[in-house]
Structure formats: C-alpha cells, structure tokens
Structure 1
Amino acid sequence: MLIPKYSGTLDLLGSASNGNGQDASKLSAIIEQARQAKVELVAQQKRLREEKAPKPLSAKDLRKMETKRFEEKTRVRHPNTSSILSRPHPIKGVRKIPVLVNARGLPFLRIKKPQPTNLSGVIRHKLERRWKRILRRDRLTIDLLFAKDEDSWDRMTGAQEPTTWARHYQLGLTEVFDQIRESDEAAAELAQKMWNVVLKERAMAEEEEKERRAKGDSLAGRD
C-alpha cells in the first residue's frame, strides 16, 4: 500500500497541535496508513519465506539424519534377536564375516557399522562398572596402608581392638579383586567363544564362495 505524501507536514502538525480537528484527523489517517503498510510488508515477507523452496540437504546433513534414525531404531534390542554366539546362520548373498573387537578388555563381535545403540550402551555400562571396581581397589589399597599404621599404633600403645583396622579393608579388597578376576575370566571365555564364531563364519564363507564358483563354471560350460 502506498502512503500519500502530505505537503506541508510541519504545518499539518502545527495545525493539529493547535486543536484543528480536521488536520488532526488527516494526521491520524496518515499514521494509520503507515501502520497498515508495515503490517502488510511483514505479512508479504513471511509469505515469501514460506514459499521459498527449502535448501537441499548436504551430504553431511544426510549422514547425520541417517545416523540419528539408526540410533533411534537400535536403541532397544529387538526381542526376537538371536544370540551372537548362535552364528553362523544361512544367508543369501555374500557372507560378511564379523570382526572380534577388544574394547578395553571387553570383547564383542562387530558385524557392521554403525554400531547398534543398544550394544554401545551395554559396552559402556560394563566398562564403567569395571572402572569403578578398579577405582575402589586402588582406594582400598591406600586405605589398607593407613589401617596397618593404625594397628601398629594400637599395638605400641596397648590399645588393641577385638579386630584389626586392616581386616575390614582387606575383606573389601579381597572382594573387589574377586569381582575383577571373575569379570576378566568371563570376558576371556566370551572372547574365545566369539573367536570360534569368527572361525566358523570364515569356513562357511569359503565354502559358499566355492559353491558360487562351481555354479558359475557350470553355467559357463552350458553356454
């Protein structure tokens, strides 16, 4: 909307301020027209933004979206998913052999990338639990030294208690050592089972490759 120019704007303002009702009305109309023009301009700009074609996503943005969808899809383990140790399974096409990975002492089989979110969560939880046990072991080891000093002081002063200070820390230290040892032994046993899966997958992949080649040679001979 075009706003008409009014000649003698200062005269109009002066007249309106002196109480001229007609000029005051003209001045109000001009102000209202300016306000309406601003409202229409804002609305027009909004329509242009909405009608503007969206910018095509870059390859990086597409990868991010795909990764996010995969993370949401694999956040919870599917109830019908079989154990990784039940492999190998019959498949169609070329078999992809899993890779045995060592994540700071925790073994797992990587089938493909990206890694399922639920698997990452399990690995992170187990590693955090093991690290907490290591911290507790180190803390108890230091506390045990102080406790032995307390016991030595009690013997020197004849103020020995029914049980020693060191005994409580030694029991805790033995417990955490057993926990770490048991988890490490379980991880080693699991690693061996997973390695057996890899060997079986390799053997089956080789056998399937031989069958494909024999089938290809047979078809070529018919031609």
Structure 2
Amino acid sequence: MSAKVPRNFRLLEELEKGEKGLGAEACSYGLEDGDDLMMSNWNGTILGPPHSAHENRIYSLKIHCGDEYPDAPPTLTFVSRINLPCVDPRTGKVDPTKLPCLVNWKRDYTMETILIELRRLASIEVLPRILLTCSLGRALYRALLRQIVRLPEETHSDFLRESIGHHVLRRFKKDSQLDSPYQITNALKVGYEALDLLRRSSNGSMDATTRMESILHSYKPKHEDLSRHKKYLQQVAERLASRIPRTRPKYPESLVSPVEKPRNVLENPVPISEMKHPPSDGLRRVPTFVIVQNGITFLRYHKPQPKRLTQMIRGRLRTHNRIVSEREKLRPTLLWAKDEDLWDDNLVEQIPSARTLGIKEPELWADDIIAADKTLSAKNREWGLRNLEIGRRMMKVWLKEKALGDIEGSTEELKRKQEDRRRIKQKMKDERRTQKLKRHRFAARMADLEDTSDPQNSSKPEKTIEPLRPE
C-alpha cells in the first residue's frame, strides 16, 4: 500500500504545476489569493473546444478545496454563464451527481482532471436532450387536447372548449421558438400545471373550473375576435359555394394546330437545302471550336460573341473557382483538427483513469474535414467530366459542320449560284452606265438648243462636252 500524500503537499504540487504551465493548454488554474495559507479558494479557466457551440469562448470558475481534499472532491461554481447539463443555469454551481469524474471520485484525480472533463463534456453534442425535450412537448400537447375533449358538457360549453384549445395552440406555437433550457423548463412546468387543472376540472372540482374561467377571462377579447373572424369566414364560404362555377371554353380540335417538336440544329447539322431559313448568300457559316481555361468549350459562329455566352462562361468559371477556394481553406483546418486529435490521444495516455469515466469517445475532429474534402473533390471531378462530355459533343458538331461546309463549297450548284450572282451584278452595272449616258446626251442637246436660239451668243466659243470615262 502506497503512502498518502498530505493535503497541503498535494495542493503545493498542483500550484507549482499550474503556475509553470505544465498542464493542459486549454485549461488553467491558480490560487485566488496568494496570502491564503490553507490554499482553499482557487480560480480556473476553460477555453471552449473548437467546432462546438463554445468555440472561441473563455469560461472562468471558482474551485473550493475543503479540508478533506483530495479524499473528497472540491466544489465548483462557474462565474461565466455556460449551458452544460451538470451546471445550474441560475447559480452556476456544478452538480457533483451529473459530472462523471465527481461521481467516481478518486484520490488520484486533480483539479486539472475536473477542468479537462468539463471541457470534454462541452464538446459533446446535446442532441439526445433536445430530442427528449421535443418528445415531452408533443406528449404534453396531445395530453392537453385529449383532456379538453373529456371536459363535461354540463359545466363547459362548446365555446369554452374551443377557447381553451385555441389558447393551448397559441401558447405552444409561441414557445416552440425557445432555445434557453431555463425557459423551456418553465414552459413545460406551466403546461403540466394546466394539465393538472384540466384533470381536476373534469373530475368536478369547482375551484379548478373557477380558476380556469378566470384565466380565460383575460383572453376574452381575443376569443371574441376569433369567433367573429370564424363567422366572417363561414359567410365567405357560403357566398363562394352559391356562385356558379365558370367553365373555360374548349376550342375545337380542328382549330388547334399540332406543335411540331423542334429539331436541334446544333446537335444534328443539316444541309442548306433542308434548312427552313437558309443564309441569303448560300454559304454555310462553319463555327470555330474554342477552348478556354479549365477545359470549358463552346462554338463561336460570329464575332462579337453574344453577351449571354460570355455570362455563361464566367458563371461556370466562378463555380470552379469557388470549389477550389473551399478546398484550399480546408487545408489549414485539417491540420488544426489533427492537432486536436493528437491532443485528445495525449490526454488519454497521460490520464489512465480517463478511460473509466463513463463517457463515450467522440469521433475524430479530422473526420468531418476529410468528408467535406471528399465531397468537394467529387464535385470538382463531376464538373470536369461534364465539361469533357460537352466538349466531345461540340467537337462532333464542329466536325459535321466542317464536313458539310467542304461538301457544299465544292459542288457545281454553289458555283452556278456564284456565276448567277456575278452576272446579275454586271447587268446592274451596265444599266447604271446606260442611264448615265442618256442623262449626258440630254444635257448636251439642251445646250445646243440654247446656243442656236440666242444670236448674241453666236460669237462665243462653243462649249465642249467631255466624253464619259469608262468605269
């Protein structure tokens, strides 16, 4: 049997360890008063665990070591407000029956053990407690509605029952948004008191009936408004039911023309002869196959390219850049999570008794980060495969367009069209030249007539008309 270390020696050892910072980095403790010879009152500090509701928060508490310490556990009181199952929300005292290390207290435990246990408890999600609260609220709501139906008709009118049901429904809707455990506890307490009042009233208690009527009397104006609103809705429903329903006219089938399924010209290019709206010059516009950054492809038929096409390309680039930036942000977070996992492993190795505290080991901090990285990697891979598939389809369209352009450009029909177009242009050019010659001759004839009619101008030299220049 090993010798027991006296109380003062044990406290001196813990004081030296706390002042030198040899303990856990997320927890610290020290004497409240340096002149305290009994070393009874201590101050503790806990840093909130990451990835929890207490992240980046610092909680301070007071520790009182009695005369029987370390044979008996110390008493702890939080100075900072904290939401933990083992802490009283009003006084901040730690319930020793709800903290595993205080329930199974051993002489080897220290104040650092308690602080680490509180920090670990803060990192555990309280989802079962929330589910329990929701189930209690639903059970209480159903019990209240069942009890309202059981009220005797002799002493409770239909309007009174309806008013009670409306009040219960309104109160539960109002309290469904509560987040504070203290407020939730008070709301459940009021609900159970109302359930007890309804039970006593259904059993014939006049005091309970009188109290219930006095409570409802304060909500009488609201219930009167409710009854008036219900009467108004009933009148509106009767008016709507009395109306003759309107029927939309049906057009005869002969007037309805069938809609043909549009043909996707971009997927299946067709020759110019089969186009509904062929180009005016008879030439096929073969698109240009363009590849931009990150493998985004598109077909450009003309310049400048449409604004919607530019917006589409920029939107796809923003999507890819957002995925890449999120993956880059996860890299330092993964390192921090691995440090937290290493810290937890070191604590378990240094404190052998931590395995017997009765707390289920949480999952690794790095698991969520790795899962998020896998999700983003899958999205990036899916984005790349989609671009590859779109690029293959556009390449097929471009090859078909190019082949049709080569075939249609080398046919005799295209040459004949070009020859007809050249002949028409030459004919129009000749007509313009003929009209110009006629105007020139008419002007020369008019000048000759003026000279012969005026004898005074006969001595003047005749005007020479310049010949037309060939175009």
TM-score (structure 2 length as normaliser): 0.28
1:80-113 CA distances to partner (integer Å, 9 max, x unpaired)?
8957434356343221211121221211111111
Question: Which one is further off, 203-212 or 90-99?
Answer: 90-99
Which residue, 396, 401, 424 being the options, matches 1:196? 396
Which residue, 89, 101, 104 being the options, matches 2:290? 101
Structure 2 distance, partners of 1:81, 1:214, is: 26
Gap change, CA 1:166 and 1:100, over 3 Å in 2:
same
Structure 1 distance, partners of 2:387, 2:413, is: 39
Structure 2 distance, partners of 1:176, 1:141, is: 13
Amino acid at match of 2:397: V
Among all aligned residue pairs of Structure 1 and Structure 2, give the percentage whose two residues are the same amino acid: 31
Quote how far apart the aligned CAs of 1:115 are. Answer: 1.1
Structure 1 gap ranges (5+): 1-79
- Please state if 1:187 is matched with 2:387: yes
Structure 2 distance, partners of 1:103, 1:82, is: 24
2:267 matched residue in structure 1: 85
Q: Secondary structure at the match of 1:85?
A: coil
Alignment check: 8 A CA contact 2:338 2:366 kept: yes
- Please state if 1:157 is matched with 2:353: no
Quote how far apart the aligned CAs of 1:133 are. Answer: 0.4
Gap change, CA 1:117 and 1:214, over 3 Å in 2:
closer
1:42-88 CA distances to partner (integer Å, 9 max, x unpaired)?
xxxxxxxxxxxxxxxxxxxxxxxxxxxxxxxxxxxxxx895743435
Quote how far apart the aligned CAs of 1:141 are. Answer: 2.4
- Please state if 1:117 is matched with 2:307: yes
Quote how far apart the aligned CAs of 1:216 are. Answer: 3.5
Gap change, CA 1:190 and 1:146, over 3 Å in 2:
same
Alignment check: 8 A CA contact 1:137 1:176 kept: yes
Amino acid at match of 2:394: M
Structure 2 distance, partners of 1:138, 1:179, is: 14
Structure 2 distance, partners of 1:102, 1:172, is: 31
Quote how far apart the aligned CAs of 1:179 are. Answer: 0.4
Gap change, CA 1:193 and 1:88, over 3 Å in 2:
farther
Structure 2 gap ranges (5+): 1-261, 273-277, 349-353, 355-359, 421-471
Quote how far apart the aligned CAs of 1:142 are. Answer: 2.6
